[in-house]
Amino acid sequence: MADKKKVLITGAGGFIGSHLVELCVSRGMKVKAFVRYNSRNHWGWLEQSPCLKDIEVVAGDIRDYDSVFYAMKGCASVFHLAALIGIPYSYVSPQAYIKTNVDGTYNILQAAKELALKNVVVTSTSETYGTAQYVPIDEKHPAVGQSPYSASKIAADQLAISYYRSFGLPVRIVRPFNTYGPRQSARAVIPTIISQVLSGARELKLGNTAPTRDFTFVKDTALGFVEVSLAKSLVGEAVNLGTGTEISVNDLALKIAGLLGKKVKIASEAQRLRGVKTEVERLCSDHTKVTAHTGWVPRYDLDKGLKESILWMQKNLQCYKADLYNV
């Protein structure tokens, strides 16, 4: 019999997942953390988490139905965050994204259906919108697959909605805009910039610096997941999590350098550039819907979030290879 307080979090050892684990524990939930199996029994960012003693860690593979079903047993809710998320690598291996993001989401949905879970939260992404056709972007904006990654997430979203409509599965879809903060990998632009500046670079190697993004601090994103999971009115719905503000990559790099008291030049490296048809030029969220249904609003502005991110990276710079391009 399922424990009403027990929740499975997939991708629990990752960036957003580990923060969500800690928030759920602080809220009194019994957390079962699903991490990808490896022979070293390494649990990602959970290895350094102060709540490690308070959670149950289960190793498996999101692409494997049996391990997902086994992990979900006894849980009343699931937060599904496990995914391949690096956009550049989706050009190298599109099938890997289909197997992980689409098949993995199917495994979650089908297991949740078989086990009659009461709450299923699926992670989407603002990349499903493609370049903004209007701003701010609300949930009615068309879906445009501008990369194999975004296409896989659109497919996963539609699959989740089909399980709600076909089987009555209580699905909610959370669509974070660009989340950043402590523990983020160097494949993302903010850790890339911070790590290069902290390593002494005065010419930053970036990709296209003209696109704008809506950056949301990871603690706000994690809180949004929990708030959405509690809103009965959001069953069968997708909701944005974003700040409603945007900044270009160029201005972002200069802001970070300024916070660190450094002057930098910015160079675009060919290997970091997306193709013209695949580059998402503009993202800026409308979070009216989630605020109306839950009261969630971002608590961190960009400066506050960047300062916290910088402090963390100053202590953990050894985790990054600032001189290498991380696909």
d(CA 217, CA 179): 6
- Cα 87 vs. chain centroid, distance in angstroms? 12
C-alpha dihedral (228, 21, 35, 111), degrees to nearest 10: -40
Locate the domains of the chain by residue range. Answer: 3-179+216-241, 184-214+245-283+300-319
Q: What is the pLDDT of residue 1?
A: 63
For 301, the token pair is: 């502005």
Angle between helices 104-114 and 148-167 (to 10 degrees): 20
- Cα 52 vs. chain centroid, distance in angstroms? 21
CATH fold of 184-214+245-283+300-319, please? UDP-galactose 4-epimerase; domain 1 (3.90.25)
Opening angle at CA 292, ends 234 and 15, nearest 5 = 65
Q: What is the pLDDT of residue 14?
A: 97
For 120, the token pair is: 């299923």
d(CA 24, CA 241): 18
In contact, 285 and 240? CB cutoff 8 Å: yes
Kindly report the length of the chain.
327
CA-wise closest residue to 68 among 23, 9, 3: 9
HEC secondary structure over 141-192 = CCCCCCCHHHHHHHHHHHHHHHHHHHHCCCEEEEEECEEECCCCCCCCHHHH
d(CA 293, CA 285): 16
Cα maximum dimension of the chain: 59
For domain 3-179+216-241, say whether CATH 3.20.20.220 is its number: no
Q: What is the pLDDT of residue 128?
A: 98
DSSP of 223-270, one letter per residue?
A: HHHHHHHH-GGGTT-EEEE--S--EEHHHHHHHHHHHTT---EEEE-G
Tell me how far CA of residue 244 lies from CA of 100, 144, 241, in angstroms: 30, 20, 9
pLDDT in tens, the chain (327 residues): 678 889 999 999 999 999 999 999 999 999 999 999 999 999 999 998 999 999 999 999 999 999 999 999 999 999 999 999 999 999 999 999 999 999 999 999 999 999 999 999 999 999 999 999 999 999 999 999 999 999 999 999 999 999 999 999 999 999 999 999 999 998 899 999 999 999 999 999 999 999 999 999 999 999 999 999 999 999 999 999 999 999 999 999 999 999 999 999 999 888 887 778 899 999 999 999 999 999 999 999 999 999 999 999 999 999 888 877 777
Name every residue whose Cβ is closer than 8 Å to that of residue 216 and which is 6 or more positions away in sequence: 176, 177, 178, 179, 180, 241, 242, 243, 298, 300
Tell me how far CA of residue 218 lies from CA of 58, 127, 174, 197, 256, in angstroms: 23, 17, 14, 21, 17
Tell me how far CA of residue 72 lies from CA of 43, 69, 92, in angstroms: 18, 5, 32
- Report pTM: 0.96
For 153, the token pair is: 């997430």
Fold match, 3-179+216-241 / 184-214+245-283+300-319? no
